[in-house]
């Protein structure tokens, strides 16, 4: 039976490079993983006042994460940190305190940037938040996708070198998930 993996994309843009990367990971994953992009753009900003009566979007989001066997974060870097929409999703899933849905789910982090450092700072900021919410994160191989706008074929798939890396990365993540 395939492991269900929730994929959170840190960019809401229709033509997001990170959404394309997530779709490539879906395409390249073996039959042992079932990757589902969980939308986060509709999540109301976290506010503790709503914990007693959470918005339906929070309830649905938390249930999708709770039912998953692992989580992947595919994100750009905004202003040398995590996009606000992704941080909000992490917060919504971690509350109310003591009732978070993340704990123990094997995680993976992939970041991208048009620059040469591939979102490395955001990658580490995401990892920092995941430590606190008890998501064990795959350490190797790391995934910082540089030149994020230049890695695509005309048909929207990744160029051969990038595809090879993405395939090896998702295979390593599957091995990581299977340890849990």
The domain segmentation of the chain, as residue ranges, is 3-178
Tell me the per-residue pLDDT of 25-76, one tens digit each, with 9 for 90 and over. Answer: 999 999 999 999 999 999 999 999 999 999 999 999 999 999 999 999 999 9
Segment 124-171, tens digit of pLDDT: 999 999 999 999 999 999 999 999 999 999 999 999 999 999 999 999
Tell me the pTM. 0.96
The CATH classification number of 3-178 equals: 3.40.50.360
Q: What is the pLDDT of residue 116?
A: 86
Tokens describing residue 52: 């007693």
> Which of 11, 104, 99, 102 minimizes the C-alpha distance to 48?
99
């Amino acid at each position: 039976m395939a492991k269900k993996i929730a994929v959170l994309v840190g960019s809401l843009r229709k033509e997001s490079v990170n959404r394309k990367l997530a779709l490539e990971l879906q395409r390249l994953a073996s039959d042992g993983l079932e990757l589902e992009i969980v939308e986060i753009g509709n999540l109301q900003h976290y506010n503790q006042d709503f914990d007693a009566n959470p918005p339906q979007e929070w309830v649905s989001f938390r249930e999708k994460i709770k039912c998953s066997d692992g989580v992947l974060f595919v994100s750009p870097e905004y202003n040398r940190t995590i996009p606000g929409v992704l941080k909000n999703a992490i917060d919504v899933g971690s509350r109310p305190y003591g009732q978070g849905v993340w704990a123990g789910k094997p995680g993976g982090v992939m970041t991208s940037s048009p620059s040469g450092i591939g979102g490395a700072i955001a990658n580490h900021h995401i990892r920092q938040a995941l430590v606190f919410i008890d998501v064990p994160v795959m350490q190797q191989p790391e995934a910082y996708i540089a030149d994020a706008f230049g890695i695509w074929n005309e048909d929207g798939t990744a160029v051969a070198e990038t595809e090879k890396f993405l395939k090896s990365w998702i295979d390593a993540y599957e091995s990581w998930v299977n340890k849990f």
